[in-house]
Structure 1
Amino acid sequence: MATKRPSTKTPSANPGAQAKAASGRLEAKMAGTETLARAFPFNAIKANEVGRNGALNPPQGQTQDAPSPDVSASTLSEKNLNDKTGGAAAAGENPNHAPLEAVRVDSAGRALTTNQGVAIANNQSSLKAGLRGPTLLEDFILREKITHFDHERIPERIVHARGSAAHGFFECTDAITDLTMAAPFVEVGKRTPVFVRFSTVAGERGSPDLARDVRGFAVKFYTDQGNWDLVGNNIPVFFIQDAMKFPDLVHSVKPEPHHAMPQAASAHDTFWDFASLMPEITHMLMWVMSDRAIPRSYRMMQGFGVHTFRLVNENGEAVFVKFHWNPVLGTH
């Protein structure tokens, strides 16, 4: 049979007396706060801040000692004793300093710099025309700091926002030195680390992966000669021929701005209005309306570089190629 373990806490001798004492301290704190406020009827040195001398040599501010430590404390609970916080610290001491010592960093001998490593003396004051003049655009430190701040929140991709990725490797099975001298393709058996991101096109964050849509992918090769990016789609042709039409194409497939529909698809009037004005889109529509736009998985999806690429072989000759990715499991 379970028995209740006796408490190790010391019961309060007189809870009523403690409450009365706390109430008295609270009243004293309020009275002391009013006394401290009455000591500052106005800022006597404010007028001294005006003028050249006041700007170059700011006067010392007016101060007034608090009637008691309770007046300047944040709450009266700072001195209360309990099992969690332990005993109260003496007035003027902060027990939190000791734990911070383990993570403090000594900045002595380290210069304040810009993002480019240029040593500077101050990044808190803008360059102005005169003591109180307007801010100057030639202050490159200000421009860099504000520009960095403005770009801290990166918006989602306009297209290909919804995706998933995986690490892997590319293994060369046939040397193609007659086409290129790029490191991943010149030696049989050579493995090159890669990172691949697959995605839909029209969908936003949170949109479904199952929508009828083109699938895109980007492969980053970490080669001996540097990083190389190769992008493609699972359809070998494209909606438009002229890049100048791309903004109009994307605007036509995105959701309607007033009700955010449809999501991750282009089955609405705006897209078909665009398609009706672009006969060159017909070939791409035949692919998009087929099963190629609803692949079973990324492992069963063909990939195409779409563009024609110009490579340089081991003899320094230019060769035109197209990239095709064929899945081992077949196209489904």
Structure 2
Amino acid sequence: MQFRSLLLTATLLGGPALAETPPPLTTDSGSPVGTNQSSKTAGPRGGVLLEDFHLIEKLARFDRERIPERVVHARGTGAYGTFESYDNFSNLTRASIFSAKGKKTPMFVRFSTVIHPSGSPETLRDPRGFALKFYTDEGNWDLVGNNLPVFFIRDAIKFPDMVHSLKPSPITNKQDPNRFFDFFSHQPESTHMLTQVYSDLGIPASYRQMDGHGVHSFKFVNAKGEYKYVKFNWASQQGVKGLNTPDEVARTVAQDFQHATTDLYGSIGAGKFPSWELSVQVLDPKDLEKFSFDPLDATKVWPEDKVPAVKLGKFTLNKMPDNFFEETEQAAFSPGVMPPGIEPSEDRLLQGRLFSYADTQRYRIGANYQSLPVNRAKAPVNSNSQAGSMNFANTKSDVNYEPSVTRETQDAPAYLLSSAPLNGTTQQRGIEKTDNFSQAGAFYSALDAGAKERLVKNIAADLGQVKDARVKARMVGHFLMANADYGTRLAKLVGVKVDDAKAAVAPLASR
């Protein structure tokens, strides 16, 4: 009876009747995959386990899909600058970058688009990468962020699938809304990010005129080993401005398809140095359960009325690279690059990126990518890494191992990582508190009338190209669940009946 109702629903929504049970998804070696939806974790809120071979194989294989261009964030530009701390924040973190008022730290920033290739126009709708590299006196810190505060997915196991859907078709080599909306129709948590990326924030007027966000939650750890969960945000001191209409986009791309790069080079060259104020939201671990959503979910923002922000300092960009390839193109970022006092949270998307990003750079640039001038730490480097392509460490010691009676290096117990309690059993299940739609609805409700209209039209322009009625109905259903007005207006523009959209997402309403 249930199978028959599924057949009927598919037929009513314009799709073909369901065929026989499809074969299981397998690993590259042919082993069936138990679930392709959730990474294996140490309990409901524990870290992702390295023993999840499917996750590691999937990410490692994905990282090696492109040569030599970045798989994502291929189109970018960068600049050097300085961060200055507003105060001594050692009560929160032992990270030396925040240890004294007025302390200055050199840095490099790379701006980018995410999906499109290296020569693509900078006027395309896309999240913007906003990656910060701080050369602190206790090692580098890569704060790899975006101009939007959330992401499409919450588990890294879905990252290759997401990017595959957004990249050009392997058949036509064209980006196709039929493909990416098919994927997102199965990921209701994407509703928040889609709402933001189709809003006026989706095409920044310049790199100077956009905010930045760390997206993930991290941990601040002080000298006592006490930790707090944190989220990083940085606000443009130039204000936020987008290219909000098709006419604005058309005029801009007609004048200069690389307008954002031109603007940054021109502004810094003219001595108009852009700056951003870095702030952090701080959440006590005991307060993790006080929300309707999981605070470690990368598809969510922390409301500032419940988790107020602390202003940490300001960074200013004041120098463009002397050579684009040697510096901007070879600049490599990984969220796993953190100095003492800053650690990852159990955020499932972040946990996968800790492996994937550095692995991508080792493949794209080489095993010694962190020895290149733009990536090399200003602090002394005393690792036992050796050889590999383009190694120029000029090693003079016979001891490239540890421990040794010569004691050339030793452990530093003061920098031990923090400890956190674990509970539950190992598992492969989604998070419990999903709350997929309320923040997307709140974002929509806060927009003025003009911004709401542009948002709905922007989505409709792509969703209207989707041929499968089931996908269109599910996507409209997601936006309906976020906000009734939002979904109803979209349904009208793309030719979906509201009742059909509600029926398509009825199983979600009961969760």
2:74 aligned with 1:178: no
Q: What residue number does 2:172 align with?
A: 259
Alignment correspondent of 2:139: 226
**How much does 1:163 deviate?**
0.4
Asked if 1:240 corresponds to 2:153, the answer is yes
Q: 1:274 to 1:160 in 2, by over 3 A?
A: same
Q: Alignment identity in percent?
A: 58
TM-score by length of 2: 0.34
Aligned to 2:229: 320
Q: What is the CA distance between 1:241 and its match in structure 2?
A: 1.0
Matched, 1:161 2:43: no
Q: Deviations over 1:268-296 (max 9, x none)?
A: 21001111111111111110110111111
Question: In the alignment, which residue of structure 2 is the partner of 1:188?
Answer: 101
1:177-204 deviations in Å (ceiling 9; x for gaps): 2221111111111110001111100001
Corresponding letter in the other structure for 1:330: G
Output the aligned Cα RMSD: 1.7
Q: Report the residue type matching 1:218 in the other structure.
A: A
Give the distance between the partners of 1:302 and 1:314, measured in 2 at CA: 31
Structure 2: where are the runs of 5+ without partners?
1-63, 242-511
Shift in Å, 1:315? 3.3
SS in 2 for 1:304: strand
Distance of 2:138 and 2:113 partners within structure 1: 31
For residues 171 and 245 of structure 1, what CA distance do their matches in structure 2 show?
Answer: 37
Equivalent residue in structure 2 for 1:292, among 167, 180, 201: 201
Does residue 279 in structure 1 map to residue 192 in structure 2? no
| RCO comparison, higher one (Cα < 8 Å, 6+) | 2
SS of match in other structure, 2:216? coil
- Residue in 2 that maps onto 1:310: 219
For structure 1, list consecutive stretches of 5 or more residues without a partner in the other structure.
1-150
Aligned residues: 177
Spell out structure 1 runs of 4+ moving beyond 4 A: none
Q: Distance in 2 between matches of 1:286 and 1:228?
A: 30
Q: Measure how far apart 1:154 and its partner are.
A: 5.0
Tell which structure's C-alpha radius of gyration is larger: 1
Letter in 2 for 1:298: Y
TM-score using structure 1 length? 0.51
Q: What one-letter code is carried by the residue in structure 2 that aligns with 1:261? A: K
Could you tell me how far apart the structure 1 residues matched to 2:228 and 2:90 are? 11
Secondary structure at the residue paired with 2:204? Answer: coil
Query: What is the SS of the residue equivalent to 1:315?
Result: coil
Residue deviations 1:30-71 (CA, integer Å, cap 9, x gap):
xxxxxxxxxxxxxxxxxxxxxxxxxxxxxxxxxxxxxxxxxx
Spell out, residue by residue over 1:75-118, the C-alpha distance to the aligned partner (whole angstroms, 9 max, x if none): xxxxxxxxxxxxxxxxxxxxxxxxxxxxxxxxxxxxxxxxxxxx
Rounded to whole Å, the distance in 2 between the matches of 1:326 and 1:314 is 28
